[in-house]
Amino acid sequence: MIPGGSPGLRASRLTGRLAALAACAGALGLVSAVSRAEPSVAPGRGDGAAGLRAFVACGACHEVERGAPSTVGPNLFGVVGRDIASLPGFDYSEALRALPGAWDAAALDRFLANPEAMAPGTRMGVDGIADPRERADLVAYLETLREGAVVAGAPAPDFGRGWPAGPGQVETGRLCGACHSLAIVKQQRLSRAAWDRLLDSMVKEQGMAEPPPDRRVLILEYLAAHFGAPR
């Protein structure tokens, strides 16, 4: 966080440091799984609707719509059954390119439990998900990312819901809402330059994934328009 932020933002600093772990950056049970990951839930036993809710944090880095361009991480539409590190046009790490096989339920469960253990040197910036039920739910949701599939009882991800309408609403809600409530963001009232410095700080000091340049501009314009410094 940048010096001089509001009391609300400073108060959230510790939570932000823990929750904004690079890629998925969410306070949804993402904890170190090096020695604490529990046994897996049997394949097919996850709840896709619960997995969709857990995926909101992952949405800060991954697109899920068919044909959408990859951002920080690869687009996950069709990931289940796809060969590892095979999505055309995405620059995978050497660690992932070295892995054989495809992303089946077992491989996804293992990777979500501890990405670094499965692929030492991966750029996936989350330590792992210790809760086997949450992993099973996420895998169940990922299995629905294919033609004609529907998550029973759950709507599509609704990033930016409740945020002021306008260009950048979804993108800003996806990025900032993974770690901070709308109320916290509203309190800041920063200039565009200050928002720019804040994003730099979040990337450099707290491990937040750097948004692509065009998305960063869109987010900055949105933040300045709706949460800018008082005039």
Mean pLDDT value across the chain: 77
CB 122 within 8 A of CB 105: no
Q: How far is 57 from 181, CA to CA, in rounded Å?
A: 13
pLDDT interval class at 74 (50, 70, 90): very high
Q: Give the residue from 30, 58, 9, 69 showing the smallest Cα distance to 178.
A: 58
- Higher model confidence: residue 12 or residue 97? 97
Sign of CA dihedral 25, 159, 52, 91: negative
Give me the residue spans of the domains in the chain: 7-20+159-227, 48-142
Residue (of 209, 174, 181) closest to 63 by Cα position: 174
Q: Give the pLDDT band (50/70/90) at residue 54.
A: confident
pLDDT reported for residue 44 = 55
| CATH 3.40.50.720 is the classification of domain 48-142 | no
d(CA 170, CA 37): 33
Residue 190 to residue 229: CA distance in whole angstroms: 4
Q: Is pLDDT above 70 for 136?
A: yes
User: pLDDT tens, 25-51?
Assistant: 333 333 333 333 445 555 557 888 888
Each residue of 175-216: pLDDT tens digit?
887 778 888 899 999 999 999 999 999 888 876 777 888 889
